[in-house]
Structure 1
Amino acid sequence: MTTSRTTTRPFGRTLCAMITPFTEDGALDLDGARKLAAWLVAEGCDGLVLNGTTGESPTTTDAEKTELVTAVREAVGDRVSLVAGVGSADTRHTVELALAAEQAGADGVLVVTPYYSRPPQQAVEAHFRAVADASGLPVMLYDIPGRTGTRIEPDTIIRLAAHPRIVAVKDCSYDFLGTQKVLAHTDLAYYAGCDEHVLALYAVGAAGCVSTVANAVPGRIAAILDAFDAGGTARAAELQLRATPLIEAMMGAGLPGTVTAKALLARLGLPAGPVRAPLLPADQEAADGLLARHEALTTA
């Protein structure tokens, strides 16, 4: 038995929120980025999100962001979608980043809610419309109020869905009811931005996920969605639950996902490098625990 899904997937289904590799002295490691991107695609990702939170966008320069998109595009060609994070607290700067991402070869842009200034919903809506109007790239809204301090309210998202270039949402709202409301009233492609919600959101009509945990186990995240698509809902649930200990270790143990992902990738011999301040690296105990959870999952 197979399921029939009519969900639009403008950027693919299994997207990785890719870390940004750095050299040991903290410089951008473009060769490492090419190698990591190629590995992620070979292991099951059909889309990559660059310059997002996991990619340490707050501490990379505009030039580094552009260089990263260009390098990864060279590595993966047209085989997968590249979505470039362009969000900032400044609408004008966000527009500039979106135009640069378009020139660098991105297929879409990820735009987070302006942070710190806590704009009201009318201003949030105007911000997203300004970015969507500025370039020809499709836009993925990024709703993560736990980091930005401001929610994109469901009614705001529903209004924004009328814009021809606003096509998707990365959902880290932790408001499952609000998410279902938008899914019921729009054709927006929803992507689970929290790894513990990959299957739950997919089961009610999401397009897929933007996964941090996929940095380390891209095939395991893709397999959850594969099982569901094949009609194996019990198998999909089993795979999600098997991944839960690693998800918890990477995303729920008190360290940012960037830190845990880089620590684990380093232990696996994949390009990563250090994090940039103000982040600090995981200590040996945390890294050992991550590797143990990874081995438990991948050898099961």
Structure 2
Amino acid sequence: MQTTRHLNQDFSGLWIPLITPFDHGNVDHASLKHLVAHYRSSGIAGLVVCGSTGEAAALSDEEQLAVLETVMKEAPGLPVVMGLSGYHLGKTAARIKVLGTLGLAAILLPAPSYIRPAQAGLIEWFTQLADASAVPVILYDIPYRTGVKIEQGTLLTLAGHPRICAIKDCGGDAAKTKALIADGRLQVLCGEDAQIFSTLVQGGRGAIAAAAHLHTRRFVQILQLIQAGELAQANALWAPMQPLIEGLFSEPNPGPLKALLARQGLIRDELRSPMTRASAALAERLHRLDELIV
């Protein structure tokens, strides 16, 4: 096992968990290229591909690798993080070894879904997969998708691993978030868009934010202002965004987001079953909220 932490790997700033566009059931690589070109010079820290917003669960392994290849070719030099989920340790370890050869900035790794292991099992899961990885690992704490909480003590134990460097925090536990920030070994990236301001004010390092597909430069500016201590200016930009952010998650993500991106002409409004398009009423409400942000 590698014994030195990736001290030079910085995950601070704004990361976009990129949606996967479809065209009549197939991955739409032309639109994917256009999306990457649209975001690559917006001031973001990088892109996350094949996360939950990217509908990775609906993509085959081959499709996931093809999506990654398209993104990396379209944005050379821009850091890319790859989502990797599973519940079979051996298969997931084999996959992480393949991904480690592809020039990624990191792997985004959640707890195994469906199994609901004990905390000792989670330590084994993340430790063995981090041991197998050639690149840094970002923990993904999202109990409402995996069915299991990663407790604070478990996270602090995992923070000692040389390749576990950051966490996408969707745990919904403000005290745990505060404790991780205070500990300082894991870079805390907010994964709940509505909590970005509060997390960053407390010392969080950045965000992986689906809503940042929209008004991306504004999101970047908000993070920069918070980090510079200009909280009043940051809040003036942040406050008008909150109704739109709330609306984007009032139906399952990324349906509402794709509806707005389609209205902007960036993609087709298409998802893979069992994910569904946003309702017409919500799509119209989001359009009105989006237009209010200037």
TM-score of the superposed pair, with normalisation by structure 1: 0.92
**Partner Cα separation in structure 1 for residue 12 and residue 101 of structure 2:** 21
Hey, what does 2:66 align to over in structure 1? 67
| Structure 1, gaps ≥5 residues long | 1-6
Hey, what does 1:284 align to over in structure 2? 280
Q: Is 1:10–2:6 an aligned residue pair?
A: no
Q: Is 1:295–2:294 an aligned residue pair?
A: no
Q: Is 1:241–2:239 an aligned residue pair?
A: yes
Alignment of 1:1-300 (within 5 A): 10-23=10-23, 25-78=24-77, 80-251=78-249, 253=250, 255-297=251-293, 300=294
Range with greater deviation from structure 2 (142-151 or 234-243): 234-243
Q: Secondary structure at the match of 2:285?
A: helix
Shift of 1:30: 1.7
**Residues 206-254 of structure 1 deviation map (CA, whole Å, 9 limit, x = unaligned):** 1100001011221121121122133311111222211101101102x2x
Hey, what does 2:3 align to over in structure 1? none
Shift of 1:9: 6.4
Over 3 Å counting, the alpha-carbon distance change for 1:104 and 1:273 in structure 2 is farther
Shift of 1:295: 1.0
| Structure 1 contact 264–290 (Cα < 8 Å) conserved | yes
**Partner Cα separation in structure 2 for residue 85 and residue 75 of structure 1:** 18
Over 3 Å counting, the alpha-carbon distance change for 1:205 and 1:87 in structure 2 is same
Shift of 1:8: 8.1
| Structure 1 contact 70–105 (Cα < 8 Å) conserved | no
Write the letter of the residue equivalent to 1:64.
E
| Structure 1 contact 30–68 (Cα < 8 Å) conserved | yes
**Residues 87-137 of structure 1 deviation map (CA, whole Å, 9 limit, x = unaligned):** 112222322332232233321100011111100001111111111111211
Over 3 Å counting, the alpha-carbon distance change for 1:9 and 1:235 in structure 2 is farther
CA-atom RMSD in angstroms: 1.6
Over 3 Å counting, the alpha-carbon distance change for 1:48 and 1:272 in structure 2 is farther
| Structure 2 contact 16–48 (Cα < 8 Å) conserved | yes
Write the letter of the residue equivalent to 1:49.
V
Q: Secondary structure at the match of 1:167?
A: strand
**Partner Cα separation in structure 2 for residue 189 and residue 110 of structure 1:** 13
TM-score of the superposed pair, with normalisation by structure 2: 0.93
Range with greater deviation from structure 2 (62-71 or 283-292): 283-292
**Partner Cα separation in structure 1 for residue 162 and residue 268 of structure 2:** 37
Write the letter of the residue equivalent to 2:290.
H
**Residues 268-295 of structure 1 deviation map (CA, whole Å, 9 limit, x = unaligned):** 1113541100011113222111111111
**Partner Cα separation in structure 2 for residue 8 and residue 176 of structure 1:** 28
